[in-house]
Structure 1
Amino acid sequence: MIGPERPQIVLFGSSIVQLSFSNDGWGATLADVYARKADIVLRGYYGWNSRRAIKVLDQVFPKDSANQPSLVIVYFGGNDSMGPHSSGLGPHVPLPEYVENMRKIATHLQGLSDTTRIIFLSTPPVDEVRVRENTSKIVVEEILKVLKDAEWKPSLHWKSMPTEFSEDSPYDLVYTDGKTTLNPSDWTFHREIKWD
C-alpha cells in the first residue's frame, strides 16, 4: 500500500469499462475529478458478460480484504444483449439469467462492507451520433449527479471529500507578487468541463 488509505472507487464491467481510460474516456475523467481524493481502480474485461463476471466476483472483490471499495460502478449488459449465436456459443445471456446475475453481483458487493456503495450503469442508448461524440461526458455527468444527490454518509461526491495534502506550503508555486504562494490542491482550470 502506498501512503494513507484513500477511498477506492472500482469500475467493474466489460469493454465500456476497460476502455474508459482510453482517449479521455469517462474513467480517465473520473480519475481526474477525484485526483487527490480517491483512487479509481479499473476492473474492466473486454467482451465479458454477466455470466463470466459472477464467476470471478470472489477474486475481484474478496470479502476478507482489509481494504474494501467505497464505491463500485458496474456495467454489464451490452454483450449479454447480443443476439444468440446458432452454435450456442457467444456472449448472449437470456434476460432472466442476466437479471439474476446482476442480482448476484449486487448481493456480493453489498456484502463487502456497510460502507460500500454501488452504481449500476445501463446499456447505452442506440443514438450512434450522440454516443460517438458524447458518451464519456454523459456517463460522468450522470455518475456525478447520482453521487451529489445520494444521501450517503459519508458523501462520495468529489466536492464533499477531503483533498489529500491540501495545506498551504512554502513549496507551492509563487504568485506574481513574489510574496504569496498558490495552493494547487483544487485547481481545475485544465478541465474542459467544470463539474458541479
Structure 2
Amino acid sequence: MNGRPVFVLFGSSIVQYSFSNGGWGATLADIYARKADIVLRGYIAWNSRRALQVMDKVFPKDSAVQPSLVVVYLGGNDSIAPHPSGLGPHVPLEEYIDNMRKIAEHLKSLSDKTRVIFLSCPPLNEELLRKSTSTALSEIVRTNETCRLYSEACISVSKEMDIKVVDLYNAIQKRDDWATACFTDGLHLSEEGSNIVVQEILTILKEAEWDPCLHWKAMPTEFVEDSPYDLVTSSGLSTINPSEWFYHRKISWE
C-alpha cells in the first residue's frame, strides 16, 4: 500500500495505549480515516535511551516512503527516580535532553517534508498512581515536580531544534478537574485526557505554515468522487456521496 501520507506515533506507553479506551491515537486514526495512515510505534516502559537505540530500525533513512508526520512522546519514564540497583528506566535530565536532540535530528533528516511534533510530559495524579501501581514492581518514584522539569526540557529542545511541541504539562492542567478526569490510573490518559492531546495536535497542524498542510480539513479525501453505488436518496432518482460525513463523531473536531 502506498500513496497516502503516513503519520507515525512513536514513544512509550502513552503512545502504545493511545488506541485503547478512546485514546488519542484512535481518534486521530478516525479523523484521518480517508486522509492518511496512522502508524503506531509505541512501547510501554521505554525511555529516550532505548528509543534512540532503535531509530534506524523504526525510521530507516533509506526507506522508499518516509513519514509526513512523526509525533513523539518520551520523558515520563526517564523522569522516574533512579533505582539503587542501577536498573530501570531513569535517564538523567541532561542525557534526556541530548537523546531528544538526537532523535529530533534523525527524524528531521528523513526527508524535507517530514514534520515532527514532540509531546512533553503530562502531569500526574500522584495519589491515584500510588494506589494503582502493581505490587509486583519495586517502588516507582514519580512526582509532578520531575514531570515539570522533563516537560520544560522537552519544550526547550523542541525550540532549539525548530520543531513543534505540545506542552502537555500545562495543557492538561487547564481543566479544573484534570487530576480526576484526565487519567485512568494517575499516569495514563483517559478519553478526556486524550481529547486534550488531539486538540493540541490539531491546533498545531492547522496553524503550522507547512507545505503541504497536514491539517485534516486541508488534505484530500481518498476516493471522493460520486458513484452510482453510493446510498440512494429518498427520491430514488440519484445517490448521495457520504465521503465527508462525520455524524458518528461525539466531538466536532476543528
**Equivalent residues, number:** 194
Amino-acid identity (%): 69
Unaligned runs of 5+ in 2: 125-177, 184-189
Q: Which residue of 2 aligns with 1:16?
A: 14
In 1, Cα distance between the equivalents of 2:33 and 2:240? 18
Q: Which residue of 2 aligns with 1:128?
A: 179
Distance apart, 1:130 and its partner CA: 3.3
Does residue 173 of the first structure (1) align with residue 246 of the second (2)?
A: no
Cα offsets for 1:136-192 (capped at 9, x unmatched): 100000000000000000000000000000000000011212123121111110000
Alignment partner for residue 45 of structure 2, among 44, 47, 53? Answer: 47
Unaligned runs of 5+ in 1: none
In 2, Cα distance between the equivalents of 1:190 and 1:90? 43
In 2, Cα distance between the equivalents of 1:120 and 1:46? 17
Cα offsets for 1:30-81 (capped at 9, x unmatched): 0000011100000000110000000000000000000000000000011000
Instruction: Report SS of the residue matched to 2:8.
Output: strand
Q: Which residue of 1 aligns with 2:217?
A: 159
2:219 maps to amino acid: M
Q: Which residue of 2 aligns with 1:80?
A: 78
> For the aligned residues, what is the CA RMSD?
0.9
Instruction: Report SS of the residue matched to 1:147.
Output: helix
Q: Which residue of 1 aligns with 2:104?
A: 106
Instruction: Report SS of the residue matched to 1:105.
Output: helix
Deviates further, 152-161 or 168-177: 168-177
In 2, Cα distance between the equivalents of 1:139 and 1:39? 18
In 1, Cα distance between the equivalents of 2:107 and 2:16? 19
Instruction: Report SS of the residue matched to 1:103.
Output: helix
Instruction: Report SS of the residue matched to 2:70.
Output: strand
Q: Which residue of 1 aligns with 2:240?
A: 182
Q: Which residue of 1 aligns with 2:64?
A: 66
TM-score, scaled to structure 1: 0.97
Q: Which residue of 1 aligns with 2:34?
A: 36
In 1, Cα distance between the equivalents of 2:226 and 2:103? 43
TM-score, scaled to structure 2: 0.75
In 1, Cα distance between the equivalents of 2:88 and 2:43? 15
